[in-house]
Amino acid sequence: MKNAHKFYIGGEWVDPERLRELHVIDPSTEQSIGTIAIGSTADAERAIKAARAAFPIFSQTTKAERRALLERVLMILKRRQHEIGDIISREMGAPLAMARADQAGLGAAHFEETIRAFDAFDFEYLQGSTRIVHEPIGVVSMITPWNWPINQIACKVAPALATGCTMVLKPSEIAPFNALVFAEVMHEAGVPKGVFNLVQGDGPTVGAALAGHPDVDMVSFTGSTRAGIAVAQAAAPTVKRVHQELGGKSPNILLRSADLGSAVAAGLRRCFANSGQSCNAPTRMLVPAERMDEASAIAARAAASLTVGPPHDPGTDLGPVASAAQFANIQALIEKGIAEGAELVAGGPGRPSNLNAGYYVRPTVFACVKNSMTIAREEIFGPVLSIIGYDTEADAVAIANDTPYGLAAYIQGDPQEARTLARRLRTGIVRLNQSAWDSAAPFGGYKQSGNGREYGKFGLQEFTEIKGIVGHAD
């Protein structure tokens, strides 16, 4: 792919300090689809230097200038949406139609929502005689994951541009090619030199350099809680802002008032979307204990109805998971669920019988799961659902909150019951009755699911410092 062995620094495609290549693997075939250059600490420092040099001028641009820039990026993203979707499908395995509409489409959606929020955002206002000013925080390091790559790039880059920040992006080396296209979009849109920079690389080298560098004012990281801890530790000595969106083990509470058939089937589909590789996937389904057998039978039928296969096949519901390491981890956790006594009602270890290559996982459902089991505690990040019984509403809340995570929760049932219950859940977002995705709703978590919020006006706030000019109106 064009520019695969270059980095985008200071408005130009440049060679790395020293070329080290990494093969990018198509998870549906386990074969290489190309190589990228892997950066070094020196490459990261060069990009940070470019971003730092660009900040004094870009931070002083007008709101109108930045809005026009956002509009140009949005226009080009829409034009190249299918191309980006095709690339994402190949590098991380999402079914092609889903990759084009959802994976790539969410990039444009975030720019659209950022523009709406930007138009309504008060960067300055008087509070008595004090002028309150929201100013760009500075140089931002962005470290993004492979599971929703353009989504996570866009929901960081859009508010950073809108607020006048400059940035260095390190995308995941597992799904890196879409980020190269994104850099081309930024270049074509006329983003000023040094405002946006891209360095490919791994976490321990480039990621650590971006997190710890004293000329970086903020790190925005999306990924595992384990990696998030390492990022926070690297950033701590320079006391920079650390924004993190980390793991999850989201509960899906099916109230007794819910239609069990539709709620179980819909909950399973949402859990298994993107082959279960979503941090906010509803992986713990909580059902009334007396209806465990009925719920598990519905879930087993729903899992059996899903087609696992190559991403380019029109009938595919679930593609492969993204990497060999991910496949191995999921298999180990499925085996752990069986060993700890959970009831396997669908799927299980190994690939589907009709597939002998690729990182394909059988859609797997465990019933009669205890919340103390490993499969109910650890983020599996694959198409694996755990069904847990509860006795009372208070019991359901206690089980839902009994987790180190707190990213998302789901409730199905009577709307008033669901609204009341939502306030008792320790999560950053609660979705009621299969509600649609809201690009303006705050996204982020409690506890070990991270800190800070993304999307819309909440994303804009994350990338600003607040200054009070006292006596401004005197």
Distances (CA, A) of 236 to 18, 102, 139, 239, 243: 29, 35, 16, 5, 12
Alpha helices in 41-92 (DSSP H): 41-58, 63-79, 81-92
- pLDDT tens digit sequence for 159-216: 999 999 999 999 999 999 999 999 999 999 999 999 999 999 999 999 999 999 999 9
Residue 256 CB neighbour total at 10 angstroms: 15
Is 155 designated active site? no
Task: Report the alpha-carbon distance of residue 323 to residue 28 in Å, rounded.
Answer: 9
Q: What is the dihedral of CA 104, 106, 107, 111, to 10 degrees?
A: 150
Angle ∠(353,359,360) on CA atoms, nearest 5: 40
Q: Where are the domains of the chain?
A: 7-246+449-469, 251-440
3-state secondary structure of 99: helix
CB contact at 8 A, 97 and 32: no
Inter-CA distances, 31 with 89, 152, 248, 344, Å: 14, 26, 30, 32
Q: Could you tell me where the beta strands, DSSP code E, fall in 171-309?
A: 196-198, 218-222, 241-245, 251-254, 284-288
Q: What is the pLDDT of residue 316?
A: 98
- The pTM of the full predicted model, rounded to 2 decimals, is 0.96
The CB density around residue 57, as the number of other CB atoms within 10 Å, is: 14
User: In which residue are the tokens 């360095």 written?
Assistant: 199
The domain defined by 7-246+449-469 folds into Aldehyde Dehydrogenase; Chain A, domain 1 (3.40.605)
Q: Strand pairing of 130-136 and 124-127?
A: antiparallel
User: How many percent of the chain have pLDDT more than 70?
Assistant: 100
The model's pLDDT over 360-380, given as tens digits with 9 standing for 90+, comes to 999 999 999 999 999 999 999
Tokens of 11: 């408005």
φ, ψ of residue 346 in degrees (nearest 5): -160, 145
Considering the chain, what is the average pLDDT of its residues?
Answer: 97
User: Residue 3's pLDDT is what?
Assistant: 87
- pLDDT confidence of residue 152: 98
Measure the CA–CA gap between 359 and 404, rounded to whole angstroms.
Answer: 28
β-strands 7-9, 12-14 pairing: antiparallel
Q: Given this model, what pLDDT does residue 415 score?
A: 98
Q: Which of 245, 379, 454, 462 is catalytic?
A: 245
Q: What is the pLDDT, as a whole number, of residue 473?
A: 80
Cα 53 to chain centroid distance, Å, stands at 29
Tell the burial category of 32 from Cβ atoms under 10 Å away from its Cβ (0-12, 13-18, 19+): exposed
How far is it, in rounded angstroms, from Cα 43 to Cα 208?
12
Per-residue model confidence as pLDDT tens digits over 92-134 = 999 999 999 999 999 999 999 999 999 999 999 999 999 999 9
Contact 97, 314 (CB under 8 A): yes
Q: Known catalytic residue: 340? A: no
pLDDT recorded at residue 42: 98
Alpha helix positions (H), 255-403: 260-272, 292-304, 324-339, 374-377, 393-401
Task: Give residue-wise pLDDT tens across range 329-357.
Answer: 999 999 999 999 999 999 999 999 999 99
DSSP state of 94: -
300 in Cβ contact with 346 (< 8 Å): yes
Would you identify the CATH topology of the domain 251-440?
Aldehyde Dehydrogenase; Chain A, domain 2 (3.40.309)
pLDDT category of residue 1 using cuts at 50, 70 and 90? confident
User: How far apart are alpha carbons 267 and 247 in whole angstroms?
Assistant: 19
Give the confidence band of 405 by pLDDT, cuts at 50, 70, 90.
very high
> In this structure, what token pair is assigned to residue 42?
């020196």
Using the structure block, give the residue that is written with the tokens 């599996």.
380
Question: Residue 395's pLDDT is what?
Answer: 98
Angle between helices 81-92 and 149-163 (to 10 degrees): 130
Angle at 469 between CA 468 and CA 472, to 5 degrees: 140
At 21, the pLDDT band (50, 70, 90 cuts) reads: very high
Whether 357 and 327 have beta carbons less than 8 Å apart is answered as: no
- Tokens representing 103 are 């994976």
SS3 category, 387: strand
The amino acid that residue 424 corresponds to is R
Query: In which band, very low, low, confident or very high, does the pLDDT at 469 lie, cut at 50, 70 and 90?
Result: very high
Q: Is the pLDDT of residue 474 over 80?
A: no
Residues 6 or more apart whose Cβ sits within 8 Å of residue 322? 27, 92, 93, 146, 147, 174, 175, 277, 359
Catalytic residue chosen out of the listed positions 173, 271, 279, 379: 279
3-state secondary structure 122-141: CCEEEECCEEEEEEECCEEE
Binned at pLDDT 50, 70 and 90, residue 277 comes out as very high
